[in-house]
Amino acid sequence: MFKKWIYIVIIGAMLATSCVNKNGSTPVKWADATAPIAATKAYTRIIHSDTVMDEYYWLNDYFKQGPDSTSVVAYLEQENQYTATMMEDTEVLQESLFLEMKGRIKEKDESVPYLKNGYYYYRRTEEGQQYYKLCRKKGNLQSTEEVLLDVDKMAEGYSYFAVGGFSVSPDNKLLAYGVDTVSRREYTIHVKNLETGEVFVDKIERTSGGSTWANDNKTLFYTSKNPVTLLSEKIMRHTLHEESQHDVVVYLEQDNTNYIGVGKSKNGAYIFIYTGGTLSSEVLILDASTPEQPFRSFQPRIKDVLYSVIPLADRFLILTNDEAKNFKVMECPLNKTGKENWKEFIPHREDVLISDVEEFKKFLVISERKNGLTQMAVRSLEDSSQHYLDFGEPAYTVYPSTNVEYDTDILRYGYTSLVTPSSTFDYSMSSMTKELMKQQEVIGGYNSELYVTERQFASAIDGSKIPISIVYKREFEKNSQAPLLLYAYGSYGSSMDPSFSSSRLSLLDRGFVYAIAHIRGGEEMGRQWYDDGKMLKKKNTFTDFIDCGKYLVDENYTSAEHLYAQGGSAGGLLIGAVANMAPELWNGMIAEVPFVDVVTTMLDETIPLTTNEYDEWGNPNEKEAYDYMKSYSPYENIEKKEYPNLLVTTGLHDSQVQYFEPAKWVAKLRANKSGSNVVLLKTDMDYGHGGASGRFDYLKEVALNYAFLLKLEGVTK
């Protein structure tokens, strides 16, 4: 009745086919291989009087374990074999790239220790090991080391292993942590006695991984996930040594568009539950010394109002966007937390986004965004004086690092740029002096003077100025002949700030320019920048990226024959939309775990995270939202035309963007595209959204991406 996937039989005596570059330069040689063709099976979607035939819908059957689940795996494996065959002539290059990138990583290393409750905590890695040891020393760095968790040993026998959510009890005797061995972001929480080394039988499954201790050293609060949708839907209370099925629900989220979580204030006095979506939020509060008491609402949620709470010794601060697009800071008494008691502490500014407030006993550190750049202000709580830190580069990233001590005048912050390796500084907020504690060491040597970073602005079609961060080797010439990789994300208000990558040197040293387009949908230019790139304005994200590509071509950084694009997850949606809208602008594209079947996913509330996303994309059960997202969804808008060369990657166990979205997209692209450009799909059968868990294994994925780009440029070594 239905076609089985078959192979196209390519007839000819040639050992390889050739794709001629648009500029007529050296043709790209592709293997004489047969591309898989997915079966087409009738499936009809009818909503809002709109009928759509989705012939590749069956590819979502793996998790449903239906009649096509075995066929799905077989098809994905055929795609993997096809990709391996097409990239076979780059295997030596991939291995060389992998060893080159791995060789820059200091294998035996140690993080900068941080002080918490009398102990210095740090991680250290050993030569040849994929993971790390979580360690601490009591009182000073000369004392005896305690290895709290040997993750290298714990991960033995697992193809994927992630551990996180480390939480030490107030008496320093117990460690709670979460483990995920499937890559579905479902963690099992364990508790270890740090005095005896015993791992208790306490085992809490289907959690987000993190947990929070009450001050009694026996009560844990954690976030429980729905087993089907993987939504965080309950905050639970667990008593040590009791069966987890007896755990108490202390908060049940009624709004399936919200994310929830639980944490503890830096001063140790309060436990907070946070519940929020894109547009509104609420905080519930509990005295950390009375864990069996009920949580109370700090301020009941208000439509279209976000807020978070920062506790000080004598009052609460509230970071909120209530009548303040770019956020402001309010204050209220400890015993009167409702909005009617809020008074202005730091006013709203039209040109500055307040993104975070870090509290200390005598200081506040305020993270801001202005003109697309991050900045940090230090404010004295004693006299209200304020000063900014200076960084001296045109494009950079700065952020508060691990600051768990409340009574200190030392701010630890991280700093990096496209040419500056990740650096950790300790800054004295009293004396205004800083000390470099550690800078990422690039093995084999690295000279930042050999590279140049720039910040340019492209004009969008509506006149908006879009920042672009650029880096290249100093001998680069603007003659339109250099290959350029343009990266972006553009969703959820996540800002893609410029940062250093030792792996990226492998592209730069081979003549590539690398650029980040700070497009709308992120928050680089303030909250409005985000609002103008979501919901019914989502297409601004795509046109901004296209305009950045055109700017880089017009300014002779590159040409369409040498321009490449990359994005992952929601950034993969960007790649898919742009491939439909402006395929002629790019020679090649990399879409990693791409969210490309927007309408189908957003209509299926059983898929993890769907309902959480309504405030970002819209709810397609509403006709206006349905029509708009259908008008840009990459899968829905494939046409019979020539597309750029495409490398698409996914993970079978991905819970964020499930494997069938890119699989369906590739199948439909193959059936419709014209021309000789290739479409490759690589599915990792062991991993999920974040890829490999080991600190070296992920470099194999990077090596494949780079080899794809270099092959298209005719670079073989």
Give dist(CA 285, CA 335) in Å, integer: 12
The DSSP 8-state label assigned to residue 537 in this structure reads: G
**531 is an active site residue:** no
Distances (CA, A) of 24 to 28, 61, 292, 678, 713: 11, 43, 73, 18, 12
Do 368 and 355 contact (CB within 8 A), yes or no?
Answer: yes
Give dist(CA 349, CA 631) in Å, integer: 36
Among positive and negative, which fits the CA dihedral 504, 506, 509, 512? negative
Give dist(CA 521, CA 462) in Å, integer: 15
Q: Which amino acid is at 716?
A: T
Q: Chain-centre distance of CA 502, in angstroms?
A: 19
Give dist(CA 56, CA 671) in Å, integer: 11
Distances (CA, A) of 276 to 81, 96, 483, 503: 43, 46, 42, 36
DSSP secondary structure of 27-66: PEEEE--PPEE------EEEETTEEEE-TTGGGGHHHHT-
Distances (CA, A) of 302 to 238, 254, 280, 527, 572: 30, 15, 7, 18, 33
Run of H or E including 576: helix 570-581
HEC string of 274-342 equals EEECCCCEEEEEEECCCCCCCCEECCCCCCCCCEEEEECCCCEEEEECCCCCCCEEEEECCCCCCHHHC
> Which residues touch 611 (CB under 8 Å, ≥6 apart)?
229, 231, 256, 257, 605
Residue 381: which of 403, 401, 359 has the closest Cα? 359
Give dist(CA 435, CA 124) in Å, integer: 21
Give dist(CA 564, CA 83) in Å, integer: 19
Which residue(s) pair with 51 in the sheet?
Answer: 46
Residue 116: which of 79, 91, 148 has the closest Cα? 148
Site of tokens 């965004």: 369
Per the residue annotation, which of 501, 689, 693, 697 is the catalytic one?
689
**246 is an active site residue:** no
Token output for 208: 């987000």
**150 is an active site residue:** no
Give dist(CA 105, CA 347) in Å, integer: 44
CA dihedral of 547, 552, 553, 554, whole degrees rounded to 10 = 80
Per the residue annotation, which of 532, 654, 684, 697 is the catalytic one?
654
Do 503 and 586 contact (CB within 8 A), yes or no?
Answer: no
* CB neighbour class for 696 (10 Å; exposed up to 12, middle 13-18, buried from 19): middle
Distances (CA, A) of 693 to 543, 687, 714: 34, 8, 31
Per the residue annotation, which of 569, 633, 655, 693 is the catalytic one?
569
Active site residues: 569, 654, 689
